[in-house]
Chains A and B, each alone.
Chain A
Amino acid sequence: MPKKLVVIGNGMAAGRVLEELFERVPGAYEVTIFGAEPRVNYNRIMLSPVLSGEKTYEDILIHDEAWYEAHRITLHRGKPVVEIDRVAKRVIAADGTAAEYDQLIVATGSMPFVVPIPGAALPGVVTYRDLDDVEKMLVTAQGGGRAIVIGGGLLGLEAAAGLKAQGMEVTVLHLMPTLMERQLDPSAGYLLQKAFEDRGIAVRCKANTHAILGETHVTGVRLDDGTEIPADIVVMAVGIRPNVALAKAAGLDTNRGVLVGDDMRTSDPDIFSVGECVEHRGLCYGLVAPLYEMAKVVAAQLAGDETAAYTGSVTATKLKVTGIDLFSAGDFGEAKDRQDIVLRDAARGVYKRLVLKENRIVGAVLYGETGDGSWFFDLLRRETDVSELRDTLIFGQSYVGGAPLDPTAAVAALPDDAEICGCNGVCKGKIVQAINEKGLSTLSEVRAHTKASASCGTCTGLVEQVMTLTLGDKFAKSTVEPMCACTDLGHDDVRRLIRAAELKSIPAVMQELGWKTSCGCAKCRPALNYYLLCDWPEDYEDDGRSRFINERVHANIQKDGTYSVVPRMWGGLTNPRELRAIADVAEKYNIPTVKVTGGQRIDLLGVRKEDLPAVWADLNDAGMVSGHAYAKGLRTVKTCVGKEWCRFGTQDSTGLGVRIERFMWGSWTPAKVKMGVSGCPRNCSEATCKDVGVICVDSGYEIHFAGAAGIHIKGTQVLCKVAEEDECIEVIAALTQLYREQGHYLERMYKWADRVGVESIRAMVVDDLGKRRDLYERFVISQRNAQIDPWAERVAGRDAHEFRPMANFTLAEAAE
């Protein structure tokens, strides 16, 4: 009979206990979990990348539904426990759900601390603790506006950077004189403040918030000195408090946290506690590494190993803000018996400080260059005598012993028990052993088997170096990510196999390549549809059901379910007749918004889906065709007026833009393609942040590519220079065709160029005239079937069902 284990809390600590437990004694316990959040277990330390938009919720899941099912765990989510009945040995949730236990784990975590000032309860004041908080911030950030973050610690700064990345104006208010004063010395704190200010985030230190202002919603804050700062959202990130109320009510010994011994048992031997709610040897922890160390001990105890003990953790901190490298560990307070070694390189923005006590490192702060963080941390934890290394210590491990070593040498020199992954406490030896014993060869396998780099991921590079050392040439660093969960193949492999095996339909691909699902998913189907369309332009019939809605109905879906319609204006040129037709359409169909786009076209926003065919018919009648503003295809060619009007213009840039657009419209590409042609280097059409740009000069045409002005802003690179307009068009078509043939679906041109390398592109498109011709020819063939106006087709009746409801009962009801 398995024993009954009940866990209160469904966070990272609890999840880790169960993982360790199932590994040690599978089936020994029948597990019931109560979680207050309505979700499965996710990686809370990755909330910041979710906020900044670098990751999604799916990316930070730790345990999916299948995991709970596989381990036969009863998961009560959204059910906070309100009582532990220690006599009857059962717990009771708010809704009355109860469960009996033999052993109980209290993993209630912590609660964000809210400063009790006037206005703290106003809507618009949020904490930064779980996905609901992130969701609230993202919703507010959609409207731009201003955000105030109270608290200049790790969490507050990550929140500030995330909100800034979402387009808000952000101010950080911090009570202390420098940021992150618990982890950083004032010098590093100053550099950090500068880095934030350089990103346009205002930082006010020594700022004490007096009140939060607003009637029905936050409008701003007032500081002690009377300053008022307006805000649409206020994030409180001033700290966390162990959540002990439940344990306390049950009569367990508590102080700041739930008191546990080295065996992680509370004052009731049948009840363990783990995570941020715990107080151990006088300390409460808010970082993940100690929680995982505790989890191991709880699991070992539950598995019957009574010698397992937790003896406390030394912690290191990293700031998870992209572009800011910061590492801190240990203690760097001033004291008589301590000595500092400091390295400042103002120009490079590098600051390193080691604090030594009796020739041992007791504190380390690294800013701007943190590669040696784990080495210093290792010396610190081991209390290694560094007197021999002292001369070159601050320069890091590469310099120890004289000449700089090659990059893997640093990792090669680490002892087997050196910690590589701080989050999960995985040492080098364990990784090497797992690779050798289990024959692992990819990063994801190593992650699955050892957990190394599976949490915050900042040690991914180190783990890869360990793999290189262990596997040598057998380890190819760039592990292939599968296209989606339906297959193990990556995009490149799928594309190669489609051509090699001449697969010409989606079912054929799925059948021949062993798809794991019956009809794919919303990720692979649009990709396969595109690949087939690109490779077999004359044979493959487009599958509308495998297209995103925008391409299925040839307009952009908006947040309210209406659509926007953009007619083509070749090269940005229009005339009174077209303008009149657009105005007439807007009036006739009550289109609420008419806007000029960044690509020099006119956008009609708020068109009802039923009206789309009629709107298109009217625009078609006036001679206009679809602008493909919805397409993973050629969008616009933006132009300036060139030599015809401009006193600086060197060539007919408008004419060239029109020619390119007329030649290339309708082509499908892996992601959207935007182009621009400028008549001179003044670049009025902003051609140098486009996928393809042309800068006209006196002697000809400079062709640029791989730029972007979207989520990432990238200037273009010069592909080549040509003398004639015809050659310019040939090169651009060949380049686009190469991108069409090599790009992964949804991969913008600049990402493709980064992946395959600019030189390889130049070799095919510029240097090898034969290859260029072939690419050009393939593009031309493809265009024969592509240049069909999708609007006209639908006006003529294609896909009519898309635009009509099947039935309408609203009028009948109104007549009742």
Chain B
Amino acid sequence: MRRRSLLGTTGFLAVVMTGVSGCGVPGVGAESADLQVYTARHYDLEAAFSEFTNQTGITVEFISGGDAELLERLKAEGEDTPADLFMTVDAGNLWNAARQGELAALESETLDQAVPEDLRDPEGSWYGLAMRARTVAYNPDAVDPEEFDAKDTYAGLADPKWKGRLCMRDATSAYTQSLVASLIDLHGRDRALEIVRGWVSNDVQIMSNDVLLLEAIDAGQCDAGISNHYYVAREQAENPDLNVSLHWASQEGAGTHVNISGAGVVEGSDNPEQARQLLEWIASEGQNAFVDASYEFPVNPDAEPEPRIAEFGEFKRMPLNAEAYGDLNAEAIDLLAEAGYE
């Protein structure tokens, strides 16, 4: 490189930078949408949002990312934030965002009617919009559903008869954490620790995601495991021969553990009215557009579940305690580490 090419390089850099920042800055050169959504929910959102736009003329734009990162970004941006809606998975996340003052309290009769009481914030800071159940999946060749403890299926898996037969998700998974948080909420820390220790002493095989877990059950590597219901539906849809069945946990006891995807209007939103409108639409008319593609359950009792998951049958769910999920999550992590759960 001679001097000339160094200058050339610098010049090129300057040109490229101007070009990119020009198109990269929203509001500069490009018309931005009416509503901006920060979302940690990772399913096909575009279909639902464009249907909303078709019906109302309100345009929606979103960026997705990790929940903790997006929350940190909301805090850093403060009142300058372009976000109108914060959408995330896990009730604990929603509870935390609200506690940290990032979500505005709403008063909406539509929402209060559409969303069951335990699936929304009493102050109206956030609302559950889709529901998932974390329950037992098993290989019907190896397990008779009678083997599951009908009162407390999760605790029942600590029984020595399951030694060497179990697959579960790792301790870093939010699914594992919120399940354990709900066990702490239900039974107290000591009993929850005993249960998790029981899983560990049953030589539970740890899987890094639910699909691997279901494949392991299908392959006969383990007999049963804990999975989200929609992974079972999705795998069944992709592979009709999949040798995995779903069993609703704890039906004669506290019910099956559920969690939600939900959203709240951002405190610094410039457009809270339209943001509320979007929330109301998703919770009512938009339910199926929002949940069906991902095989989640609608939160609104008036909406029909997608046919494939409707086949799993109706089930009794454990009431959701968002504050517990939020508050007890750190304790759940600590407990998992103490029990030696990887």
Q: Do A and B come from one complex?
A: no
Chain A interface (Cβ within 8 Å of chain B)? none
Chain B interface (Cβ within 8 Å of chain A)? none
